[in-house]
A and B are shown apart, each in its own frame.
Chain A
Amino acid sequence: MATSSRHASSSKLPESVYNPRRHVGVHAEWVSDVSSTDYPGHYPNEDHSWNLEKFKKNLQVKVQRLSQRSIEFDLVGVDASIANAFRRILIAEVPTIAIEHVYVWNNTSVIHDEVLAQRLGLIPFNIDPALVEYRTPTGFNAQPNDRNTLVFRLAVTCERVKNTKKDVKPSEQYINEYVKSGDLVWVPQGEQESVFASNPPAPTNKEIVLAKLRPGQEIDMELHAIKGVGKEHAKWSPVATASYRLHPLIILNPEKPIPPHLAKKFASCFSPGVVTIDKDGEVTIDERNMRKDSVSREVLRHKEFEGSVQLRRIRDWFIFNVESEGPYAPERLFLESIKVMRDKIATIKAAAEGLMASADAEPNLANADGDVEMGEA
């Protein structure tokens, strides 16, 4: 990837960023040129039909920041419909494991069974979803078994610490004052002991408070965790956030430069680092820091800057921010979303091929519905 490494070392953005066709206008009270125009027939005598080679040359993916919990990366050269598909899949269709069935043997705490069950459902687990199968309405996986269900036990009783004074703090008076996610005990079923040996199932965070108890109160329940996706219930969503924003672009008008005595005020209209002021008070935009701008449009509120600057965003430059919450490492999440997308495409393709085969066998397929007129014989 020669181009991207060149960009990384340079303080400039590629020149193609200033192509007005790639711009979304940002104005004081509205945005302009939101829709993409790169379709065949939109511009006379230009070829905008799908071309994989052209797409490959144009596409740029660049990881910017990575931590144990989140990732920021740039996806440049794709349409919003594609970037949005991946964002939606990250939130709603990448599978995880969460508690779905709660069997309450005893609950004498002040928190109601159904409220506690709701809280239990939201606990994120470290279980790799690839090792678990979905429950299905029919067939082998209709019943719980060791391939589709993980069992946890939650049994906590609160007691008074013997021989303590009344005036010490509660944590020294009571045992099990708090029921925490770390109190869940995994109960291996069948082959699970060996399958999950390298990474025993447990909540990713052991400090989540689930309930508070006082002496004599007890919680005893069995929890069944199954595989699911976020579109059924948000507890199965693998991300805390998955979002993108368009790369900001600030264009100064050389005809109407910012006077030196207003330079500081101008700079304060943008996020820190975006505007640089040299020793003569001349204002420039730091191209590499432009991505940091919040595009607050503050600069458009001041009469003295009218006509000096244009705010824009780059329509095909997506800055993704994904925070993992659950079993996936942040850098793996985007790959999982691509996998889900390809699975979807494969399913639809198989169905379309099936239609094609039946259409070949029976040319007047549409006639089967009885509402399309017969063609002339």
Chain B
Amino acid sequence: MAELPPKIKILKGAEPDLSAATYQIHDESHTVGNALRWMLMKNPKVEFCGYSVPHPSEPHINVRIQMYDNLSSLQALLTALNDLDDLCVTIEDEYKKSLRTDQYERWDEKS
């Protein structure tokens, strides 16, 4: 069996201090790519962030992050992941609350 590729790889062309880098995330698609791009762009210390799916039949995405003030893009990536997780928890709680307490129409659907 071929060895599994690493989940994240830093592609060539990165700054030595990682103030600008492209991360190749394996086995991910637009689902995570676009959400992560959005959360990274919410960070005022991020100068540029974009993602691409290099080829539709290759299961990975490239996420490019460039920082202001020579800050670490890897740190920004970690912050974005944490924030994205908080966002998921918030939506989950709110959805559960609505399901529990809100008045909504219940109807009978024949299968």
Contacts and interface: CB of A to CB of B under 8 A. Distances in A.
Contacts of A359: 18, 74
Contacts of A364: 16
Nearest to B38: A81
A125 B12 CA distance: 47
A73 B28 CA distance: 27
Interface in A88-124: 88-89, 92-93
Contact of A67 (B74, B78, B109): B109
B81 A50 contact: no
Given A40-B44, A345-B88, A73 B32 contact: no
B14 interface: yes
Contact of B108 (A62, A67, A92): A67
A88 B78 contact: no
B28 A344 contact: yes
A52 B95 contact: no
Contacts of A335: 92, 95-96
Given A39-B41, A67-B108, A342-B88, A374 B16 contact: yes
Given A138-B1, A338-B91, A89 B41 contact: no
B83 A348 contact: no
Interface string B92-104: 1011111101111
Contacts of B82: 349
Nearest to A52: B86
A59 B93 CA distance: 11
A1 interface: yes
B53 to A, nearest CB: 13
Contacts of A369: 10-12, 14
A236 interface: no
Contacts, number: 186
A70 interface: yes
B21 interface: yes
A163 interface: no
Contacts of B18: 359, 365-366
Interface residues of A, number: 73
A78 interface: yes
Interface in B20-43: 21, 25, 28-32, 34-35, 37-39, 41-43
A334 B104 CA distance: 17
Contacts of A64: 104-105
B109 A63 contact: no
A42 to B, nearest CB: 10
A253 B104 CA distance: 33
Interface in B61-110: 74-75, 77-78, 81-92, 94-99, 101-109
Contacts of B77: 352
B63 to A, nearest CB: 10
A75 interface: yes
A348 B92 CA distance: 20
Given A338-B88, A348-B8, A369-B10, 15 more contacts: A50-B39, A52-B83, A52-B87, A61-B98, A67-B108, A204-B111, A342-B85, A344-B32, A352-B77, A359-B74, A366-B18, A367-B16, A369-B14, A372-B12, A372-B13
Interface of A: 1, 4-5, 8, 39-41, 48-50, 52, 55-56, 59-70, 73, 75, 78-79, 81-82, 84-85, 88-89, 92-93, 137-138, 204-205, 231, 331, 334-335, 338, 341-342, 344-356, 359, 363-367, 369-372, 374-375
11 contacts: A59-B91, A59-B94, A65-B107, A73-B98, A84-B30, A137-B1, A344-B31, A351-B25, A359-B18, A359-B74, A369-B14
Q: Which 7 A-B pairs have the closest CB atoms?
A: A351-B7, A67-B109, A40-B44, A50-B42, A366-B14, A81-B38, A81-B34
